Amino acid sequence: MTRRMAGLDLGGTNVRCGAVPMGGAGKMPTCADARLRPLGTRDFREVAAILAEEIRRVGPVDGVGVAVAGMVDAAHRRVERAPNLDWTDAPLAQVLEDACGVPVVVLNDVNAITWGEFLALEDSSARHMLAVFFGTGVGGGLVSEGRLVEGARGQAMEIGHVLADASPDAPACGCGRRGCLEAFVGGLNFSRWIQGRVPFAVEHMGHLDAAAAAADARASEILDHLAAMTARALCDAVMLADPGVIMVGGTVWEGCPTFASRVRALVERRVPGAVRWAAPKLGYQAGIIGAAAFAGALLAEREDA
């Protein structure tokens, strides 16, 4: 059955929305009519109204997939917690279904991006993939046997929240714990953590990366420390999931080539030959395509059940 789905990628300040025709098995979904729309609010009802307008703009559609930066329940109905929007237990799927009259599926944004990028892999025979994205936060996703792995609570592969530093004075993370990987190399947390550790101004990790590349000894020492804890987390994930393919991206990774090369070298030294490296290629459309494709497949499964 051919479906026309709407895909939305909802961030803290804007939403990207587009139409995604589902052309059947073996065909890579593509995105049409995609655009970015600023939200101007974090109020749940006001944001939901904006999302409904965007869905109607790209309609008519058979269903909707919404990617949200946060924790989503395993039934794909509610946003349990979205820190950037300050939402808790938000019934997003039901509100949008009431407004638009079509089925709605909600999922985590990195899971949506992972699924979209997996569908776009050049090696169409691949059945497994680990994806990790370093940006404002650190998120991960996993595909195994050709299916997105979400876990019992919908929170599988939250690699940004694995323990990187167990010391009692480890930096606090936005999740409420201390010492998470994201507390060090997530873009927002890094900017706070780095202050006072180098004798020059550092606004983001790219500044530290550039200083290390220019042979600044202190910058290089700190970058080595960050690369080591990041590589350790990636290696642990590789050993646990055996993904075969690892995709790493995000603004921090792409903007910090020295950091990226050191992490990759450490991973290859620790688990030689365990993974093939892949780069994301869908850009901002990954979340749109992934959310729509995942929702389309899930709705089809529900109809067949």
Tell me how far apart the alpha carbons of residues 275 and 93 are, in angstroms, rounded to a whole number. Answer: 37
The total number of residues shown for the chain amounts to 305
245 and 288 part of one domain:
no
Same domain for 85 and 161, yes or no, is: no
Please name the residue that has the structure tokens 């799927």. 93
119 found inside a domain: no
Q: What does 263-287 look like in DSSP terms, one character per residue?
A: HHHHHHHHSTTS-EEE---STTHHH
Quick check: is 120 in a domain? no
Whether residues 246 and 164 fall in one domain: yes
- Asked if 140 and 176 sit in the same domain, the reply is yes
Q: Which of 18-32, 203-217, 237-251 has the lowest mean pLDDT?
A: 18-32
Identify which has the larger pLDDT, 248 or 302: 248
Type of residue found at 65: G
pLDDT in tens, 236-282: 999 999 999 999 999 999 999 999 999 999 999 999 999 999 999 99
Q: Which percentage of the chain shows pLDDT scores above 90?
A: 80
Q: Do 10 and 82 sit in the same domain of this protein?
A: yes
Q: What is the amino acid identity at position 218?
A: R
Q: How far is CA 95 from CA 89, 92, 118, 298, in A?
A: 13, 5, 30, 19
Mean pLDDT of 226-240: 97
Q: Examine the pLDDT at 304 and tell me if it is beyond 80.
A: no
Grade residue 2 by pLDDT with cuts at 50, 70 and 90.
confident
Q: What is the CATH number of the domain that holds 34?
A: 3.30.420.40
- On whether both 265 and 134 belong to a single domain, the answer is yes
Same domain, 247 and 180: yes
Separation CA 82–CA 103 (nearest Å): 21
Question: Residue 74: which of 156, 176, 157, 144 has the closest Cα?
Answer: 156
Note the pTM of the prediction, 2 decimals. Answer: 0.92
Q: With a cut of 70, say whether residue 130 has pLDDT above it.
A: yes
Q: Is the pLDDT of residue 28 over 80?
A: no
Task: With a cut of 60, say whether residue 12 has pLDDT above it.
Answer: yes
pLDDT at 70: 85
Which domain, by its residues, includes 287? 3-114+283-304
| Alpha-carbon distance values, 91 to 49, 103, 104, 111, 112 (Å) | 13, 13, 11, 19, 19
| CA-closest candidate to residue 258, choices 234, 279, 227, 231 | 227
- Verify that 92 and 139 share a domain, yes or no: no
Which range scores top for mean pLDDT: 22-26, 121-125, 182-186, 295-299?
A: 182-186
The CA distance from 214 to 235, in Å, is 28
> Rounded distance, CA 295 to CA 102, Å?
12
Confidence of residue 166 (pLDDT cuts 50, 70, 90): very high
Residues 58 and 92 in one domain: yes
The three-class DSSP label of residue 108 is strand
Residues 59 and 177 in one domain: no
- Do 135 and 227 fall within a single domain? yes
Query: CB neighbours of 32 closer than 8 A, spacing ≥ 6?
Result: 18, 19, 20, 21, 58
